[in-house]
Structures are given as structure tokens and as C-alpha cells.
Amino acid sequence: MKLTEERRKALRITVDYTNMTDKYLGDKGISEKTLSANKKLAKSAHAYVNANRGKDELFMGWTELPYNQNEIVADILETAKLIRKKFDAFVVLGIGGSALGPSMAFTALCHLHYNDLPKSKRKGPKFYVEDNVDPVRMKELLDVIDVTKTCFNVISKSGATSETMAQYLIISDLLKKAGVNIRENVIFTTDAKRGNLVKISKELGGVKSYVLSDGVGGRFSELSPVGLLPAAVVGIDIKALLKGAAYMDKLCKSSDLAKNPALLSATLQYIAMEDGKNIGVLMPYSDNLRYVSDWYAQLWAESLGKNVTLDKKPCHVGQTPVKALGVTDQHSQVQLYTEGPYDKVVTFLSVGSYKEKTPIPHGCENIPDVAFLGGHTMEELIQAENKATAYALTKAGRLNYTINLPEVNEFTLGQLLFFFELQTAYAGAMYNIDTYNQPGVEAGKKATFALLGKPGYELQRNDLAKASPDPDYIV
């Protein structure tokens, strides 16, 4: 994607926070005074993030991903070409930060029925992201792929995640049984030196591997090989994705709220959270963007949901992300958003120009209630419904704001991802928490190890046996 400066400006994503202000929401809105009172905190959060950019020891390596991957990108593009030639299907085995990004980018930028298209109309092999260990799902995936003609990208930073490693064991066993050299059909994306995938690679005599560097945590890894290889395989322009991220980074240089959209968004969310808005709804008006909500939910929840500050003071912070889809969830959740408790901020993702307009033909001329739709397009309809929902929420005094994407493409998606990553980093700094750890996730992972008999977890296994189930509480 070649982009002139003019085109970049036209594709710039913007934040419209009109419906967060007291000017439009009355006493339910955020006043200029409140915003000003938080400017100092925003400035120091901005300074903290800036001062620690790229620091691996703080897990802030993600800030440099738009700039430091030229060689890796070249290698990924070559590998993707080979994969497209050789394989009928590409399967990501991973979970959490190792899967949500690949799913999101695929859905955002590929045909919504990509796997159903004939081969000649697809830019790559069929594509699957297996981010669960539901036994039915695994079995049924195997019903639709031929493992000998499938490339498996095993993505795990630790190489110790039970879900991913169980999937690997199943797949490697099948490949072996089919007489295929495992090395031919797997690619690892993992830590440079540590972890079980590194060991497995050595045992197999060297598996093609991409590195997820020390300073990049799972949920901040979409712009690393974790997301770039799967994206390149299905024909996504990964250079444009990275350019979009770099562009957003540039737009967020200032510590002035009026000039830094991610800092503004973080500050609005922070003010809302401090005022008891414990639920953050992300509602894209675009099926292509529907899994941005899943990706964002992990980023926001795992990063901000913490019980201790960096200076070891107890706290219980975070906001529960809720995934909604416009217009689908207008007919499901919007009733609650409009009339239920005042505990939410709704963030819309709106699209300026959809890649298809899809005209609605004239018809049913004798039924005015239907005929009025004729002559419009589905683009006009979805945009009108988006606007109408924002209006209804505002009339009901509900905090809502809109992130506008002029189009959905690699450049705007790259901007959006980096926007949310920066927003999360700023919000974490405002709360003075460790944005990048996830002790709550680790606890569950360890309990699973104990339950399934991993050596070293015997004590926890005994404790778990005592804990549940208690027959006194089973009805």
C-alpha cells in the first residue's frame, strides 16, 4: 500500500468525545473542569510511558515494533510465499495474546467468508485459529483439514501453556503417524532462548522459528511475528499495518490532551472509572471489526485488572470490557445500556466508508413502512443506526464516544491497535500499576498443571482436591 501524506491524513483515525461532555450529557457528563483537573495526571502518565519506551525489562518492547522489524518482515514475507505455495491450510495453535490478534486481523482485513471462497479467490491457504481446547472443536478441525497439507504455527511465548502444548502434541502425533517430518509442517513463534518450544525445536533438529522478544508480552504482540506471520500468509499487507501503527505513534507524541487521541481516551476512561463506570463496552459497527472487541477485551482487562500498585499499595482497579456488535446488539444489549445502571462507557468504532455499499433496491411501493428503505444503501443504514444509537444514549445521559475509522484497511487497523495499546499503557500509568503482568492468569495456569499431574505441583494438587466440589453445596 503506497500512501501519500495526503492519503495518510485522509485515513487518520479520530476520537469524537462530544457525547462524554456535560455540554451534551448535562450533569452525567464530564466537565471541562474535571478534564483540566486530570491533565497533570495525564501528563505524568504520558511522561512515564515515554521515558520507558522500548525497555524490555518493563515489558515495553512493544512500543518499538513499528520501527525495528525490517529484517523480520522480509523473512516473514518470504516464508508466507512458501507457505502459500505448499499448503492448503494454515492453523494457528495458541491462546490469549497468541491467538486473539491473529483472529482479529484476519477478520478485519480478509473476506468475511474467506475460507468458503474458491482457492483462486483467496490470497492464501484456508485459515484457522484454534484458541481453545474444546475436544469437539479439535476433532472437528481435523475433519476439515488434511494435516499433511497444513502448516501449523505454534505460538507460545512460554511454551508451557497447557492448551497450546496439548494441541501441539495432538498435531505432532498425527504428523508422525502420517509419515511427515514434523519440521516440514510446523513453525514456532516463541521466546528466543527459553521455553519448551525451544527445546522441542532442538530435539527435532531445528524448526523454523520466529522470536517473540523478551520485552513484548502476549497481549501487546500483534505487531510482532505473532500477528505478522499469520497476517502475511492470508495476504494482509503487514508493512502497511506497521506504518499505521507508526503513524498513530506520531499522532500521540504530545502530552496535550487536545493533541494526543490515545491520551485523551485514556483520561476519559480513567475519569469514568473513578466515577464508578466499571463497564467499558466496545461496539464496532462493522463485522470486519467485530474481533477487535475480543482482542481489546484481553488488552484492557488483563492489563488494568490489578490488586496492587507499583509501590505495593493494595488497590482493586480495572474496568470490565464488554463486547458488542453494531447493529446486531442494538437488538440485544442496547436496552440495558440506555436504561440500566449508570455504570458503563460505550465506545463505538465507526466506519466512514465501507468497502462495499450494497444498494437496497426499491420495492414494496404500496407499503411505505418498507418502501422508505429502497434507494438507500446498507452503508447508509448501518451508519444511520450507529448515529441513532449514539444519539439515544446521549439523550438518556449515557457516556459514549466514537473512534472514527475513515476506512477499514491495514493502515487504519495498525493505527487502531497502536491507539489501544497506548491508551492501555497510559491508563495503567495513571493507576500506577504493573500494566504488563498477569498474576491472575498465571494462578489458573498453575492450578491446571497441578490437576493434570505436572511434576512440581503436588502440594497445590492436594489443596485443590480439598477445595471442591463440596457435596454440601451441590443441589
Site stretch for ligand PA5 (CB under 6 A), options 45-53, 153-161, 333-341, 410-418: 153-161
Q: How far is the CB of 85 from ligand PA5 (least distance, A)?
A: 28
Q: Interaction with ligand PA5 in 288-307: which residues (CB under 6 A)?
A: 302
Site stretch for ligand PA5 (CB under 6 A), options 39-47, 152-160, 277-285, 380-388: 152-160
Q: Is 161 in the site for ligand PA5 (CB under 6 A)?
A: yes
Nearer to ligand PA5, 210 or 401 (CB): 210
Is 317:276 a contact under the CB 8 Å cutoff? no
Nearer to ligand PA5, 227 or 244 (CB): 227
Q: Is 129 in the site for ligand PA5 (CB under 6 A)?
A: no
Site stretch for ligand PA5 (CB under 6 A), options 142-150, 217-225, 253-261, 263-271: 217-225
**Considering Cα of 238, then 114, then 132, then 199, what sign does the dihedral take?**
negative
Alpha helices in 252-291 (DSSP H): 261-274
Report the alpha-carbon distance of residue 140 to residue 153 in Å, rounded. Answer: 18
Q: How far is the CB of 58 from ligand PA5 (least distance, A)?
A: 15
Active-site residue, 316 included: no
Q: Is 157 in the site for ligand PA5 (CB under 6 A)?
A: yes
Q: Is 95 in the site for ligand PA5 (CB under 6 A)?
A: yes
Q: Is 196 in the site for ligand PA5 (CB under 6 A)?
A: no
Among 38, 63, 107, 158, indicate the residue that binds ligand PA5 (CB under 6 A): 158
User: How many Å from the N-terminal Cα to the C-terminal Cα in the chain?
Assistant: 60
Q: How far is the CB of 325 from ligand PA5 (least distance, A)?
A: 23
Site stretch for ligand PA5 (CB under 6 A), options 83-91, 95-103, 239-247, 270-278: 95-103
Q: Is 156 in the site for ligand PA5 (CB under 6 A)?
A: yes
Nearer to ligand PA5, 156 or 293 (CB): 156
Site stretch for ligand PA5 (CB under 6 A), options 176-184, 215-223, 266-274, 278-286: 215-223
Nearer to ligand PA5, 97 or 244 (CB): 97
Using CA atoms, how far residue 205 sits from 79, 196, 229, 364, 437, in Å, is: 19, 14, 22, 68, 33
Q: How far is the CB of 191 from ligand PA5 (least distance, A)?
A: 8
Alpha helices in 122-188 (DSSP H): 135-144, 162-177, 182-185
C-alpha cell of 64? 518499538
Active-site residue, 339 included: no
The Cβ of residue 244 has, within 10 Å, a number of other Cβ atoms equal to 30
Residue 185: how many CA atoms within 13 Å on its side-chain side? 24
Nearer to ligand PA5, 30 or 92 (CB): 92
Alpha helices in 150-291 (DSSP H): 162-177, 182-185, 196-203, 225-233, 238-251, 261-274
Is 112:287 a contact under the CB 8 Å cutoff? yes
Among 101, 125, 218, 321, indicate the residue that binds ligand PA5 (CB under 6 A): 218
**Binding-site residue total for ligand PA5 (CB under 6 A)?**
15
Catalytic residue selected from 39, 43, 149, 445: 445
Report the alpha-carbon distance of residue 67 to residue 131 in Å, rounded. Answer: 29
Cα dihedral value 453, 458, 459, 460, nearest 10? -10
Using CA atoms, how far residue 362 sits from 328, 358, 374, in Å, is: 24, 13, 4
Residue 360: how many CA atoms within 13 Å on its side-chain side? 15
Active-site residue, 302 included: yes
Catalytic residue selected from 331, 339, 356, 365: 331
Q: Is 441 in the site for ligand PA5 (CB under 6 A)?
A: yes
Could you tell me which residues come within 8 angstroms of residue 311 by beta carbon, excluding any fewer than 6 positions away? 432
Catalytic residue selected from 64, 130, 302, 379: 302
Q: What is the residue whose three cell numbers read 462495499?
A: 356
C-alpha cell of 155? 505460538
The Cβ of residue 134 has, within 10 Å, a number of other Cβ atoms equal to 10
Q: Is 428 in the site for ligand PA5 (CB under 6 A)?
A: no
Site stretch for ligand PA5 (CB under 6 A), options 64-72, 94-102, 106-114, 310-318: 94-102
Q: How far is the CB of 66 from ligand PA5 (least distance, A)?
A: 19
Q: Which residue is nearest to ligand PA5 (CB)?
A: 218
Q: Parallel, antiparallel, or unpaired: how do β-strands 209-211 and 279-284 relate?
A: unpaired
- Contact residues toward ligand PA5 (CB under 6 A) are 95-98, 156-158, 161, 164, 217-219, 302, 438, 441
Give me the active site residues, please: 302, 331, 445
